Amino acid sequence: MEDKIAKLQAATVEAEANMKVCKEALELAEKGVASAKDKYRNLLKDEQETLQVNDTELPELLETHVRAKNVYETAQARFTTNKRYLEAFQQKNGA
């Protein structure tokens, strides 16, 4: 039982570290999208009217943001699940 707890604890620590890295990537993607939106909002009215969305980096930035969000949510769910199981095993072992 101690071996299972040790392995689960290591997996939980690893999942938490991965979740933090994914959160940083998500925040970076959000900043990129916000920066691009500000850039295009500040263009002159004439330039805004003639500019096509596909002529900008917005589609790629939005796709990166969606991917980063999905990866972060997956990492967060993995950490939460590992933590829950770890706590259950620790309580079971202590009881």
Residue with tokens 């259950």: 88
This prediction has a pTM of 0.85
Q: Which of 6-20, 48-62, 76-90 is predicted with the least confidence, judged by mean pLDDT? A: 48-62
Instruction: Write b or e for each residue in 12-24: b if 16 or more Cβ atoms lie within 10 A of its Cβ, otherwise e.
Output: beebbebbeebee
Q: What pLDDT does 50 receive?
A: 86
pLDDT at 95 over 60: no
At 56, give phi and psi (nearest 5°). -110, 180
